[in-house]
Amino acid sequence: MTRPLAYFEDPSPGFGALPPRAIGRTDAAQVDLSGTWRFHLAGSEDKAPEGFWDPDFDDAGWSDIPVPSSWPMHGHGAPIYTNVVYPIPVDPPRVPAENQVGDHRLVFDLPEGWPQTGRTVLRFEGADSSLRVWCNGVELGISRGSRLPVEFDATVALRPGRNVLAARVHQWSSATYLEDQDMWWLPGIFREVTLRHRPDGAVGDFFVRAGYDHVGGSGSLLLEAAEGVRVVIPELEVDAESGTPVTIPFVEPWSAELPRRYAAEIRSATETVAVHVGFRTVSIEDARLLVNGSPVLLRGVNRHEFHPRTGRVVPYQTARSELTLMKRHNINAVRTSHYPPHPAFLDLCDELGMWVIDECDLETHGFELQDWRDNPSDDPLWTDAYLDRMRRMVERDKNHPSVIMWSLGNESGTGANLAAMAAWAKHRDDTRLIHYEGDWTCAYTDVYSRMYAGVTEVEQIGKRIEAPLDDPGLDARRRAMPFVLCEYAHAMGNGPGGLSEYQRLFDTYPRLSGGFIWEWLDHGIPVSTPDGRAHYAYGGDFGETVHDGNFIIDGLVFPDRTPSPGLVEFKKVVEPIRFETQPDGSVRVTNRHDFRDTSHLAFRWELAIDGQHTDGGPLDLPVLRPGESADLTLPIFPPERAGLPPFEHWWTVRAVLAAETAWAPAGHEIAWHQGRTDDVIAERPFDADEPTAPVVVEDGRVLLGPAEFASDGTLLRVGDIEIGCPSLELWRAPTDNDRGKNPSVADRWERVGLDDLSHRLIRAGAYDHSYVVHTEVKPAGGTASMANTYRWQAFGNWLRLEITMLPEGEWTVPLGRVGFKLGLPAAWDNVEWFGRGPGEAYPDSIAAARIGHYTSTVDRLQTPYVRPQENGARAEVRWARITGHNGRGLQLHGEPHFSLTVRRWPTKALAEAKHTTDLADSGELHLHIDHVHRGLGSASCGPDVLPRYELNAVPLSFAVWLRTM
């Protein structure tokens, strides 16, 4: 016999909810019920207190909890992380008996003079996952749909003076099957609860349709609301009744670049609601995405709502600074993956300017693991729930100009319920486009959206020559759609690599409307080791049995929202001003904004010689409209004319904000470009073609200039300093991307033993002024090997080391790096270099690193990826010094350059560490001098390293100079 369904297993959206509506800043009475509530957590329904909703129930033994909150973040239970797999047995709509019940109670006083007429509603902005509510013992209703608001009519239940609210929240419910997003499972009432008076004749729901005619410059306005309700925009002298279309001869349109809003009021006889109106029109023309008649390029990110300390509760200031940070990094679009955000976030997007794909709270991804059998998306049992979710999102958010597309949800397969959502939304709001990635036929969407498609396929789509769909009608329809990559470039750990290649396509093909990096934020949770050292936790760290490890750590910003190198790279790659050096040495400046001219920018140039600033000043440029270019002649003299020695002369041009904006101060850099006026190839540091010292063999020791070797070729010391002997390195601590595929390149490295090279001396001998050491390097498990030659020469007090690597046998795996390592004294803490910086850079993520002269410390060179992995390489280093406080140390010089990494632990330790606190100072510095690195790619979810950034075992030779100081 099947067990009857519990109320929270009912697949319907619930009961008692009022029709969803838009809200704004109302003058009707309102009480924010956020604050400290009483809380009781039970492990299952049968252990939950009976009758706790009774106003006289004694909750003295309960604890306090803030509302809003995610209860596992307050010591009740623990977070659980899964990506695709459901954390519960899949038996829809049933959930297991082990199902936490969070009972919440609040005693509050209705304010004096609370209106006696009209109605009073109780509004929850979000409760995860099933919510049941009582007021003074009277049940008001049940709701599911965690990231969506719900209102209940509390009029009859409320009393003057003291009132008691009770809310029961279940961790799992039927809604769990629809909310399988890749994130922490965090139950609780995590958004505000308010009590709202609704006067008789209140405004009710309202929809301000505000379009823009880009040809004539007029605005169109239509208020949809109850009869008698008016929209008033004083600045435009608009006062129009609902249902009456208005044309305003001239308005300034809204765009993410110029987010012009007009203050407006929605008025009924008894209520005034303050809103903002932004005029804009979204359309598709010739497979291009247009807003206000102009093509739009989305430089976007996927944003989850998560805070490392409070879980799903994201404070307003955090959201605001997040958007500010995005704007500062040239980001112009957000997909609210994978549910509607806190409503204030959309206000911020309207205000600061951000294109938004507002996504419905829907994901049934776990059903893919059973080939989509029983997928709710195609089961009539769930139709109401699907439609209810779409309605609640659209009705809440329809007045936001920033929202240009409604997304049905994420990874929910295909099916009639999705089609029904789309049809309803289209019918309700024909001013926006429908987005959904999960159905590649695009049968019910307006844009063609994909995730993680590789550059080859994206280019075909850009050219409109992609493989056809079976159905010619659908194919023709899809071919006429603009394309977005709703997710690409998986920002997990070190990466993503290959952003520039995507951007080149976006910039080339009008059909490609850009994309959204996956994702904005690492969802790490701060915890401490038993001895009190802090680190971020990820899946499995809270004892979850089923979990997806650190796949939750895949953002462009670290959990504390500090930018990762990936964000810095993205900023550079998407910059809306493009500089290109022309063959005649001039610089072409192109305005790649979609709406904005360049009058808000100031242009500057500067010159640095060997990294030292020598000159600079403003640049005069005509104001460029979107798409326009101008050529600049830089006021820089070639070095000969200036009579300077032939050091590297690099100029930098920059576009900065001329004046402060709502999101950045004046002077904030938007775009930059570098070029050089000299043609110096990094000089040898010593001016002689031939070595200056012979090799001397004496008492079993080998002396060469400042160096001393053992007879087996091992370097013993340089001058009076012992530095470890260089040895070839082909492996790196795998990045998350190296670990990405199955089998991953990291697995393959391990299988062939690339992480465990044996070095065998073949012979060492003096040849004239060179000391040459031949070794054979073999991965522990393989048959392939490298014939390796180290050729040492002395030039004054410099040593030149040339390494030649000749692969032998069959190399079946790409290499992680080609370089060598040296051990240095731990006290040499200062690192100085001339090359790319200030941040790390790898072959396919190097756009943001500029040539300069930098200083750092060993510790600051490390990028604290939440799960430790290869990091911190400084690219194209011409020279470097690693010194202690007394100035002693090692100087390196490239021929012409090398990649520099210094850390306090060996590669093995870095590879084995699970958390940053696992990394311990080994008592020496590990210096890596690499000739080349494998690219990063994005294989943790998506394409691997592009062929041009792959590192195969081929014959190579490179040289580095070193001396001690």
Please list the active-site residues. Answer: 411, 487
DSSP 223-271: EEESTT-EEEEGGGTEEEETT--EEES--PPB-SSSB--EEEEEE-SS-
* Residue 581 to residue 653: CA distance in whole angstroms: 11
**Nearer to ligand GAL among residue 76 and residue 312 (C-beta):** 312
10 Å CB burial of residue 83 (0-12, 13-18, 19+) is middle
**Nearer to ligand GAL among residue 736 and residue 895 (C-beta):** 736
* Residue 610 to residue 678: CA distance in whole angstroms: 11
Token code pair at residue 54: 């009774």
Nearest distance from residue 554's CB to ligand GAL, in Å? 5
Nearest distance from residue 740's CB to ligand GAL, in Å? 11
Nearest to 566, CA basis, from 118, 233, 869 = 869
**Nearer to ligand GAL among residue 128 and residue 924 (C-beta):** 128
Count the neighbouring beta carbons within 10 Å of the beta carbon of residue 473. Answer: 9
* Residue 830 to residue 802: CA distance in whole angstroms: 26
- Cβ(658)–Cβ(600) below 8 Å: yes
Nearest distance from residue 866's CB to ligand GAL, in Å? 14
**Nearer to ligand GAL among residue 125 and residue 411 (C-beta):** 411
Nearest to 122, CA basis, from 146, 151, 149, 162 = 151
Using DSSP's 3-state secondary structure scheme, residue 419 falls into helix
Residues in the chain: 965
Token code pair at residue 451: 């995730």
Binding site for ligand GAL (CB under 6 A): 83, 182, 338, 410-411, 451, 487, 490, 518, 551, 554, 941
Q: What is the dihedral of CA 197, 200, 201, 207, to 10 degrees?
A: 30
- Cβ(736)–Cβ(495) below 8 Å: yes
Nearest distance from residue 942's CB to ligand GAL, in Å? 9
**Nearer to ligand GAL among residue 103 and residue 182 (C-beta):** 182
Q: What is the dihedral of CA 632, 638, 642, 645, to 10 degrees?
A: 140
**Nearer to ligand GAL among residue 266 and residue 393 (C-beta):** 393
**Nearer to ligand GAL among residue 181 and residue 907 (C-beta):** 181
Nearest distance from residue 90's CB to ligand GAL, in Å? 18
Token code pair at residue 619: 């640049």
Nearest distance from residue 452's CB to ligand GAL, in Å? 7
Nearest distance from residue 590's CB to ligand GAL, in Å? 33
Q: State how far the alpha carbon of 907 is from the alpha carbons of 347, 417, 820, 964, in Å.
A: 47, 51, 12, 24
**Nearer to ligand GAL among residue 312 and residue 490 (C-beta):** 490
Nearest distance from residue 539's CB to ligand GAL, in Å? 12
- Cβ(208)–Cβ(221) below 8 Å: yes
Using DSSP's 3-state secondary structure scheme, residue 950 falls into coil
DSSP 10-27: -SS-EESBPPP----EES
What is the chain's Cα-based Rg? 32
Nearest distance from residue 937's CB to ligand GAL, in Å? 15
Token code pair at residue 120: 């009073």
**Nearer to ligand GAL among residue 457 and residue 808 (C-beta):** 457
**Nearer to ligand GAL among residue 288 and residue 338 (C-beta):** 338
Nearest distance from residue 338's CB to ligand GAL, in Å? 6
Peptide bond into 104 cis (omega under 30): no
Task: Indicate the residue whose CB is closest to ligand GAL.
Answer: 182
Sheet with 649-657: strands ordered across: 612-619, 601-609, 649-657, 669-676
CA 772, 778, 784 angle in degrees (round to 5)? 115
Token code pair at residue 420: 């029904």
DSSP 36-89: EEEEEEEEEGGGSPTTTTSTT---TTSEEEEES--GGGGTSS--EEESSS-SS-
**Nearer to ligand GAL among residue 452 and residue 647 (C-beta):** 452
Q: Which backbone phi and psi does 416 adopt, to 5 degrees?
A: -60, -30
Nearest distance from residue 518's CB to ligand GAL, in Å? 5
Count the neighbouring beta carbons within 10 Å of the beta carbon of residue 684. Answer: 17
726: which DSSP letter?
Answer: P
* Residue 353 to residue 599: CA distance in whole angstroms: 18
